[in-house]
């Protein structure tokens, strides 16, 4: 049996590794995998030997929580309250304890009643009352930290628990000595160490929880693409039913503009289907009887009937949702250096403290002094620098990125980016603009006249090729048309100023017995450049060609050149055909091409490269890119792309400028260099 359990309270890689190790050793557990980023544990077990309740009970004994629904919003609210409480008490605590230590005569004033020199006992007691609420709101650090030590898997919480506990215990001892008249101990209070460390770590935990809370947004948005209902034909009746009630074999009616509810095959009618949500390609695909159609795609202009073949979890959209979930859930978080160090640091420091205190006790026979030595070592080792060196560098790196329109979602993405060996770019909307534009007008008459006639004819069309032509002619006056006829998947026919205008593809020209003559060679050249030729005929005679294509962004070639100079291999992946892919790749300066790749196969292609030990970045903008963005070691989304792509990615380029890809990698390299120095 396989179950997924949501775990709360994990703070670092050591936590997830500890849970994985302990649950994995339980009798009956075959396999256990814990993902820190998604806070999910996937566990396979033999239900005859153990059960889910026993597994959850063991997790709780380790100091973590188990939830079956997403309680992230509640957790974030609780953390915010704890953070506010800790800050409210930490600021005056820091003022009282260290205000008098400022250099250059800037000593901050204190009332005589709690002044270090006039009332040392009140000075200590005031700090106790300010430290107590902070340690109360940070109680989880002590529970998790000391349990981690007990189970021999110390983590960052263990350092915090031991260091702050030692600081508080020794400070209480010093307060006792002050009460006995030994006022020199007023200089040996470390309450602010405990209070400020807990406040700072709670700040980090709150920011981390907010970031993790967004993990499921991509899945929610993908699910939102499915229509809620569909019109099913039963006998002579048309009935609107929820899509969950659609069965394999049902006949479904889709009107123009409607979204397809499930996968199936067209049995009646012709239309053009916008499949960009799945393939990323901007050009609609013509569909006739016998052609396959897919859930979440949009029916552009024709009325069709189709037979349902894949419903529920079997649809292509559902498979993409599953791929995003699996990729997010299986991606191993990058081990943070502080956590790796803490695994050795905590036991080593503890051993040093014990050895030092025993040594001094043997030498002096003074138990109080030996205890002072023991706690002093732990206080000195309290992880101020260790805990802050990495987050401060990451804050600086992500801040610098944000200033330049590069949004880096946390330290893991920032750390992973500097290791990238191969960057794979999606074609449509990433390397290219993502929408068709007129690129060439070839004719034997005035170009503006041909464009005016074509745009006037196409103004009644909803096809993206027609829309591109109308947009190109926005500065020209459009002419009145009559007798407009649309040939689905082929083109249009109308009358303008008494002349018959036919605009469409080669199929329509052949059907209308229009010879393209000398334009044949130009047509082949345009197709070889990845452009779509539209033929314009006037009164059954060919008048010219208007070519439409998804043009390459101005920044693409320069960005790819920079990446190549940095020693990073660049590839392009697309669902488009080989001819178009090669034409775009040539313009962008890319030699490695993966063409006619389906959405689920994009993630598989990345998996293959990862299996070779390569570190992969994926750059994309569409819903179809979401599984690949989640699967890659670093997913980079274009800011002008879909919300789902941006949620699935680790880095978002807000300016939609591909030059920001090498810039993001440079920021990563500089930040990691700083972290190592720290």
Please give, one letter per residue, the 3-state secondary structure of 460-497. CCCCHHHHHHHHHCCCCCCCCCEEEEEECCCEEEEEEC
CB within 8 Å of 503: residues ≥ 6 apart: 454, 457, 458, 466, 491, 492, 493, 534, 535, 536, 537
> Cα–Cα distance between 549 and 284 in angstroms, integer?
13
Query: Of the candidates 466, 343, 407, 246, which has an alpha carbon nearest to the alpha carbon of residue 17?
Result: 343
- Give φ, ψ of 19 to 5 degrees: -65, -45
Element (H, E) at 232: strand 229-234
Beta strands 616-620 and 422-426 are parallel
Among residues 164, 106, 155, 104, which one has the least CA distance to residue 131?
Answer: 164
What is the distance between the alpha carbons of residues 512 and 558, in angstroms, rounded to a whole number?
Answer: 45
Length of the chain: 678
**Residue 314 backbone dihedrals phi, psi, to 5 degrees:** -90, -10
- Catalytic, 426? Answer yes
Backbone dihedral angles phi then psi of residue 107, each to the nearest 5 degrees: -55, 130
Which position among 286, 339, 426, 625 bears the catalytic label? 426
Give the pair of three-digit tokens for residue 138.
């940070």
Cα separation, 170 vs 190, in Å, equals: 8
In contact, 478 and 471? CB cutoff 8 Å: no
Which bin fits 252, alpha (ψ -120 to 50), beta or left (φ > 0)?
beta
Rounded to whole angstroms, how far apart are CA atoms 488 and 492? 8
Task: Give the residue among 668, 245, 263, 151 at the shortest CA–CA distance from 254.
Answer: 263
How far is Cα 218 from Cα 650, in angstroms, rounded to an integer? 12
The answer to whether 561 and 568 have CB atoms below 8 angstroms apart is no
Give the residue numbers annotated as catalytic, written as ranges.
426
């Amino acid at each position: 049996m396989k179950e997924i359990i949501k775990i709360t309270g994990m703070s670092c890689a050591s936590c997830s590794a500890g849970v994985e190790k302990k649950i994995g050793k339980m009798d009956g557990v075959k396999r256990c995998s814990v993902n820190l980023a998604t806070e999910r544990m996937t566990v396979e077990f033999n239900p005859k030997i153990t059960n889910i309740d026993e597994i959850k009970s063991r997790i709780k004994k380790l100091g973590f929580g188990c939830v079956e629904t997403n309680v992230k919003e509640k957790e974030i609210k609780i953390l915010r309250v704890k953070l506010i409480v800790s800050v409210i008490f930490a600021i005056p605590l820091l003022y009282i304890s260290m205000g008098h230590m400022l250099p250059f005569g800037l000593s901050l004033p204190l009332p005589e009643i709690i002044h270090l020199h006039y009332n040392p006992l009140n000075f200590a007691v005031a700090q106790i009352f300010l430290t107590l609420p902070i340690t109360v709101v940070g109680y989880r650090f002590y529970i998790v930290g000391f349990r981690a030590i007990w189970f021999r898997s110390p983590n960052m919480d263990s350092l915090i628990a031991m260091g702050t506990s030692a600081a508080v215990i020794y400070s209480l001892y010093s307060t006792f000595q002050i009460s006995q008249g030994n006022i020199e101990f007023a200089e040996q209070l470390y309450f602010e160490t405990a209070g400020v460390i807990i406040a700072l770590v709670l700040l980090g935990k709150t920011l981390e929880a907010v970031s993790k809370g967004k993990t499921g947004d991509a899945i929610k948005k993908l699910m939102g693409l499915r229509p809620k209902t569909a019109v099913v034909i039963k006998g002579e009746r048309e009935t609107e039913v929820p899509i969950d009630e659609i069965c394999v074999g049902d006949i479904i009616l889709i009107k123009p503009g409607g979204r397809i509810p499930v996968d199936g095959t067209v049995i009646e009618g012709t239309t053009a289907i916008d499949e960009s949500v799945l393939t990323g390609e901007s050009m609609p695909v013509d569909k006739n009887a016998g052609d396959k159609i897919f859930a979440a795609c949009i029916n552009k202009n024709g009325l069709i009937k189709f037979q349902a073949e894949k419903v529920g979890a079997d649809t292509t959209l559902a498979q993409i949702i599953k791929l995003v979930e699996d990729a997010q859930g299986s991606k191993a978080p990058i081990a943070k250096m502080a956590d790796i160090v803490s695994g050795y640091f905590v036991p080593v420091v503890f051993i040093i403290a014990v050895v030092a205190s025993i040594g001094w006790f043997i030498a002096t026979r003074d138990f109080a002094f030996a205890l002072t030595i023991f706690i002093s070592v732990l206080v000195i080792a309290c992880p101020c620098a260790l805990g802050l060196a990495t987050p401060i560098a990451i804050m600086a790196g992500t801040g610098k990125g944000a200033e330049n329109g590069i949004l880096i979602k946390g330290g893991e993405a920032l750390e992973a980016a500097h290791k990238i060996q191969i960057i794979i770019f999606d074609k449509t909307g990433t390397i290219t603009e993502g929408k068709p534009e007129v690129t060439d007008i070839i004719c034997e008459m005035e170009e503006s006249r041909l464009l005016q006639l074509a745009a006037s004819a196409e103004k009644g069309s909803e096809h993206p090729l027609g829309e591109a032509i109308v947009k190109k002619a926005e500065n020209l006056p459009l002419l009145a048309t009559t007798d407009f006829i649309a040939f689905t998947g082929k083109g249009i026919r109308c009358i303008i100023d008494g002349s018959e205008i036919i605009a469409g593809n080669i199929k329509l020209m052949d059907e209308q017995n229009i010879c393209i003559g000398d334009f044949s060679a130009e047509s082949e050249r345009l197709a070889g450049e990845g452009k779509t030729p539209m033929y314009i005929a006037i009164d059954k005679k060919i008048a010219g060609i208007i070519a439409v294509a998804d043009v390459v962004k101005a920044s693409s070639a320069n960005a790819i050149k920079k990446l190549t100079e940095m020693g990073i291999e660049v590839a392009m992946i697309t669902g488009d055909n080989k001819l178009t892919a090669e034409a775009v790749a040539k313009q962008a300066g890319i030699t490695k091409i993966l063409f006619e790749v389906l959405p689920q196969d994009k993630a598989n292609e990345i998996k293959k490269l990862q299996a070779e030990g390569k570190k992969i970045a994926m750059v994309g903008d569409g819903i179809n890119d979401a599984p690949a963005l989640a699967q890659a070691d670093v997913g980079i989304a274009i800011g002008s792309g879909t919300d789902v792509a941006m949620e699935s990615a680790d880095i978002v380029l807000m300016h939609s400028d591909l030059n920001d890809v090498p810039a993001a990698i440079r920021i990563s390299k500089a930040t990691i260099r700083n972290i190592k120095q720290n």
